Chain A
């Protein structure tokens, strides 16, 4: 158990809909990262938050957004869903942000299926 929790575990929805994925980092960790794992793209970085502020963006679509709340949990919002958004979404947390060698600890993931 990494100490990172993600809800829900599974999500099935229809095209055009909007969903919210939730992540609670390990106790004491300030940085949260979101990754997407799809069959053809592997694990890809989406976005990072550090202590409530956005720090880095990867290949995140404009239809996707995220935020980190004062209690450090994070939410990833996916809107106008398309079939191609079906994937595993992982959250990872680590103590530091930029400028620190910290291993990232991953949650169990949320499997999103768009029908």
Chain B
């Protein structure tokens, strides 16, 4: 039973345009959500997070939106740059359960120059 799903295994975007990566979850108890970026042969790198009491969090070119009623979150990257090409994972955690992360399957983003 996959509690966190990223339904698009890959996404291709032109440099300078917006990249939108989507993530759905099934467990309504999740209260903290994170996005990680991963390059080959490296560990995941933390990008941005959002708690369930918010619906938006912004950090530079990255914005995460949370829609609790739809159990959906998205990561917007504007403008997209070739260096953003990587695999992006969304993850969810529970505040009072050790904060272990439940990951989605990842979306490979390719930003074309």
Contacts and interface: CB of A to CB of B under 8 A. Distances in A.
29 contacts: A2-B43, A33-B101, A35-B101, A42-B103, A42-B105, A43-B44, A43-B89, A44-B103, A45-B102, A48-B98, A50-B98, A56-B98, A90-B44, A92-B43, A92-B101, A94-B99, A96-B99, A97-B98, A99-B95, A99-B96, A101-B32, A101-B95, A103-B49, A105-B46, A106-B36, A106-B44, A106-B45, A107-B43, A108-B43
A107 B97 CA distance: 22
A101 B31 CA distance: 10
Given A45-B101, A92-B43, A103-B49, 6 more contacts: A43-B44, A43-B101, A55-B98, A101-B99, A103-B46, A108-B41
A92 B46 CA distance: 11
9 smallest beta-carbon distances between A and B, as pairs: A106-B43, A56-B98, A43-B103, A45-B100, A103-B46, A106-B44, A42-B105, A108-B43, A55-B98
A45 B98 CA distance: 11
Given A2-B45, A109-B43, A104 B103 contact: no
Contacts of B105: 42
A108 B42 contact: yes
B63 interface: no
B46 A100 contact: no
B84 to A, nearest CB: 18
Interface residues of A, number: 31
A108 B46 CA distance: 13
A98 B98 contact: yes
Interface string A76-115: 0000000000000010101011111111111111000000
A109 B39 CA distance: 12
Contacts of B100: 33, 45, 48, 56, 58
A4 interface: yes
Nearest to B47: A103
B32 A104 contact: no
A102 B51 CA distance: 11
